[in-house]
Structure 1
Amino acid sequence: LGQVVIARELGVTFDVAAPVFCANRATLTWLRGLGAGRVYLPAELLGNDAERIAELAAEPGVLGPVDADRPELMVCEHCLLTAEGVCATDATGQVHCRDCSRRQQTRYLVERDGMRLPIAIDACGRTRIFLS
């Protein structure tokens, strides 16, 4: 939510998705009042509250979960790709996560039992971990 302040200062709309949880009309109204454009419903609602999903989804700009088949388990504020080595830098020595070629490749965290959890690195270097 700290990024909401930055978006408001810049006067731009922003999207709301996990880990911010929007599960009712009051929260949706509050997020819209802050300047949210699109709001993604949390995957947790899919299995247990069809009526609430239908009510919220009827609102303009409300979308389903980013990946309903693979719920997001966790968001790490740091890029897990750094475990593979240092980040690439530009001519000035700055790292630009949005341009990282490693982000475009499929990666997994492998649990002890062999289960592979897909990960996605966003343009800000956050790691999103999904169910397999």
Structure 2
Amino acid sequence: MHLIKQVYKRIESRYYYSCIALFDFLLGIYGLFHINYLDDPRITPFHNKDAFSAVAGMTDDWWFNLMVIGLGFALLISVLANKHKSSSLFFMISIFFLILISFAFSIRTIEQHYNITWLISLILVLIAIHTPREDGGKK
């Protein structure tokens, strides 16, 4: 029982970081089950390969999604181990990955394949950037 309370307390003390770690898990798992979804002609009937494939071709591949899952796992472990420097490092790397995903969906919107996912991921990036300013990710 003491171990459960201690884990809960550490997750609560770095709540935002824990949420981003959970989001990384879910995003990576979704990506693994939907490989190349941005390149699918049913989703993006026509697109400019030059502008699109550099970022979007990367963000919907299996290796990218495995990296996102691994990053979420590393972030959660560093939160549970109470390692503030490593959790902050993994948090910043996670923001970079979220920016790449947001950019990939933004390109789809510019090419008139409307989807509000880019807006949701952009808002998540803005929240994540603001998080360390408030008590270093606590609460």
What range is the shorter-chain TM-score in?
A: under 0.3
In proportion to residue count, which structure has more strand? Answer: 1
TM-score (norm 2): 0.24
TM-score (norm 1): 0.25
Larger RCO of the pair (alpha carbons < 8 Å, separation 6+): 2
